[in-house]
Amino acid sequence: MRRDDVGLVDICSPGDTHAEIAIAALEAGKHVLCEKPLANTVEEAESMVRAAEEAAKDGVRSMVGFTYRRVPAIALARRLVAEGRLGTLHHVRAQYLQDWIVDPQAPMSWRLDKSKAGSGALGDIGAHVIDLAQFITGDSIGRVAGRLRTFVDERPLPSAHSGLSGTAGSGTGKVTVDDAATFLAEFRGGALGVFEATRFASGRKNAIRLEINGSSGSLAFDFEDMNLLHFFDGTDDAETAGFRRILVTEAQHPYVAAWWPPGHLIGYEHAFTHQVVDLVSDIAAGNDPTPSFADGLGVQRVLAAVETSSDTDSWQDIER
Ligand SMILES: NC(=O)c1ccc[n+]([C@@H]2O[C@H](COP(=O)([O-])OP(=O)(O)OC[C@H]3O[C@@H](n4cnc5c(N)ncnc54)[C@H](O)[C@@H]3O)[C@@H](O)[C@H]2O)c1
């Protein structure tokens, strides 16, 4: 942290380490890119925001890694909503569906340990769709009512583990996080939201599915077809109106001009490249990057409220 030849710290370790590393880096005057979710608790996230705001006074920048914002089709969705092409927003449907632990013999890993991960599907993947829904709509969630569920609460300990996959060894460990999270949401601007995050959607590998319906149009996206955005323009002539399939590979589309000719698709990794380009460009220009730690705290508050709602069977308000 104190080395002069380190200018930026990229925190890509489990959630229980984020706050300590980020605060130490910011206090040492290093720019920080911190993986999502920002922290494991609201309190940790609040202390990270305080450190980020203090460091920003000296031009030290921070960003949280909600990478999917940088998928061109998602950035285009945000642009269309901001241009008013959907009118007043009524519905937000957001799902993040995976299936990597539907097998009860899939072994334990840090993602299934609350002390390391903070929560399960909720914070790991639900955090992404909460951020995307708030990013695309330009609105924020004001209230939630949720339900968390752990379908398999004991699993083999791993003999080997890499990324999301592992090999079962001997002995078992207790799963202390949710396998799935669902919640209803009321946006401050009036839209209704339905959210789902699960690691038990058999056959769905990384399906980030978003559909937004407004008074004059709709958008639909699925990460498993990440170069496509579906747009319904309600002002079209009724005879020919319908969802149009936009192949988001034109130079006019966000981020695409730096890549291939139209129709030459990009992939998962490109969003990480876009994230770094945006971060270093902002650092060079002296701008505060987004999503900020404050944006990460906003998502953390929604995660905590969903958990409390599930525990107490009640609607929970989200602090601004
Ligand atoms: N932005 C995204 O789309 C995205 C995608 C995947 C993971 N993530 C996030 O990245 C982070 C890491 O996830 P992953 O899938 O890469 O996990 P991983 O298990 O593949 O890697 C974690 C790494 O952290 C290291 N580590 C563990 N404890 C540490 C400690 N105390 N100090 C320093 N290093 C430590 C491990 O050795 C390992 O190299 C998590 O916060 C996760 O949510 C974000």
Q: Give the tens place of pLDDT for each residue, 235-269.
A: 999 999 999 999 999 999 999 999 999 999 999 99
Closest residue by Cα to atom 37, ligand 1, is 13
Query: What is the pLDDT at residue 1?
Result: 79
d(CA 148, CA 122): 8
Question: Which residue out of 13, 16, 41, 275 has the highest number of ligand 1 atoms within 8 Å of its CB and is therefore the one to mutate?
Answer: 13
Is the confidence at residue 13, as pLDDT, over 90? Answer: yes
Question: Which residue out of 10, 35, 199 has the highest number of ligand 1 atoms within 8 Å of its CB and is therefore the one to mutate?
Answer: 35
Quick one: tokens of 243?
């969802």
Count of residues for the chain? 320
Alpha carbon 305 to its chain's center: 16
Query: What is the pLDDT at residue 102?
Result: 98
pLDDT (average), residues 221-234: 98
CA 13 / ligand 1 centre spacing (Å): 3
- Name the percent of the chain lying above pLDDT 70: 100
pLDDT in tens, 123-182: 999 999 999 999 999 999 999 999 999 999 999 999 988 888 889 889 999 999 999 999
- Name the percent of the chain lying above pLDDT 90: 96
Secondary structure class of 154 (helix, strand, coil): strand
Helices (H), ranges, 72-126: 72-82, 114-117, 121
Q: 211: left (phi > 0), else alpha (psi -120 to 50), else beta?
A: beta
Query: What is the pLDDT at residue 163?
Result: 81
CA 263 / ligand 1 centre spacing (Å): 33
Query: What is the pLDDT at residue 2?
Result: 82
In ligand 1, the atom with minimum distance to the C-alpha of 13 is 24
DSSP letters for 65-128: E-GGGGSHHHHHHHHHHHTTTT-SEEEEEEEEE--TT-STTSPP-GGG-HHHHSSSHIIIIIHH
Based on the number of CB atoms within 10 Å of its own CB, is 300 exposed (0-12), middle (13-18) or buried (19 or more)? buried
Q: Is the CB of 67 under 6 A from ligand 1?
A: yes
In ligand 1, the atom with minimum distance to the C-alpha of 124 is 43
Q: What is the mean pLDDT of the chain?
A: 97
CA 60 / ligand 1 centre spacing (Å): 23
User: CA quadruple 44, 42, 119, 194: dihedral positive or negative?
Assistant: negative
Helices 293-312 & 127-137, crossing angle to 10 degrees? 120
| Cis omega (within 30 of 0) for bond into 254 | no
pLDDT in tens, 73-111: 999 999 999 999 999 999 999 999 999 999 999 999 999
Q: Closest Cα to residue 302, out of 119, 160, 159, 151?
A: 119
Helices 42-56 & 18-27, crossing angle to 10 degrees? 10
Quick one: tokens of 247?
């192949």
CA 68 / ligand 1 centre spacing (Å): 17
Is the confidence at residue 195, as pLDDT, over 90? Answer: yes
Question: Which residue out of 11, 12, 20 has the highest number of ligand 1 atoms within 8 Å of its CB and is therefore the one to mutate?
Answer: 12
In ligand 1, the atom with minimum distance to the C-alpha of 65 is 1
Site of tokens 């752990």? 150
Q: How far apart are the first and last CA of the chain?
A: 32
pLDDT (average), residues 292-312: 98
CA 65 / ligand 1 centre spacing (Å): 12
pTM of the model: 0.98
Alpha carbon 254 to its chain's center: 19
Site of tokens 């559909």? 211
Q: Closest Cα to residue 71, out of 272, 241, 282?
A: 272
Query: What is the pLDDT at residue 165?
Result: 83
Query: What is the pLDDT at residue 301?
Result: 98
| Cis omega (within 30 of 0) for bond into 156 | no
